[in-house]
Amino acid sequence: MTSSRATRAEVCAAAVADCFGGDGETLANPIGTIPMVGGRLARATTEPDLMMTDGEAALIADHEAFAWPDGPTVEAWNPYRRMFDVVWSGRRHVMMGATQVDRYGNQNIGALGPDPRRPQVALLGFRGAPGNTINDTTSYWVPNHSPKVFVAEVDLVCGIGYDRAAALGPVAARFHETRRVVSNLGVFDFETPDHHMRLRSVHPGVTVDEVVAVTGFELARPDEVPESRSPSEDELRLLREVIDPEGRREREVPDPG
């Protein structure tokens, strides 16, 4: 089983895991199914010191993503209020969703339409996005890449991107880092001179033209766009047998075949 080709969801999970590379003893807070799977994969391989939540009020030491046959091993109490202590001290890397994300990494989860005080579509609200992005490293997960999500400018800036950080200046924005965006089609970063979003890699089976066609702004890109890496044999075994044996990842991003 583990020798077979990696599915799209598994490539996404490996890309998510790579986002947490080098984070060390940080609270990795991946929100969503594949972010959770990818975060656990990072902890089970290259980043053993990451801390992760059970989605409620505890930090869990076990590597398994969703099932703890003998009950979870709790290593710390982390009620909602405690999360602000972690976030504001700069010890978290969150991977949030984004209803819209733009070319400088601004994120919107609050409202769609030109007037956010009378939204055409009301969403969740700002939630913790302003505090996350001004204090900590942030990445985003987009399971369904489309020009409605990847927009030139978001309708409402909840999580701040690099143009907003630059306008604040180096003092106010010194803890801001938007590291990566992982979608079902590719991996994106902001490692360009003006931090304009760059196509970092395309997932196996996806062409650059396909990504360009469903992105609502011009992406920076190298002359040769690399292919996203496939998980190793060992990572595939972890994903399939330990972290997500029920295959939840495949329901979030079905394999195109």
Residues making contact with other proteins (CB under 8 A): 56-58, 77, 79-81, 84, 87-88, 110-111, 116-131, 133-135, 156-160, 164-165, 167-168, 171-176
Write down the least CB distance from residue 119 to other proteins, Å.
6
Nearer to other proteins among residue 1 and residue 171 (C-beta)? 171
Q: How long, in residues, is the chain?
A: 257
With tokens 């330990």, the residue in question is: 242
Nearer to other proteins among residue 54 and residue 234 (C-beta)? 54
Nearer to other proteins among residue 143 and residue 205 (C-beta)? 143
Phi, then psi, of 169 in degrees rounded to 5: 95, 170
Write down the least CB distance from residue 109 to other proteins, Å.
9
Nearer to other proteins among residue 8 and residue 190 (C-beta)? 190
Nearer to other proteins among residue 125 and residue 245 (C-beta)? 125
Write down the least CB distance from residue 167 to other proteins, Å.
7
Yes or no: say if 91 and 78 are a contact pair by the CB < 8 Å rule.
no
Write down the least CB distance from residue 83 to other proteins, Å.
9
Write down the least CB distance from residue 249 to other proteins, Å.
19
Yes or no: say if 14 and 230 are a contact pair by the CB < 8 Å rule.
yes
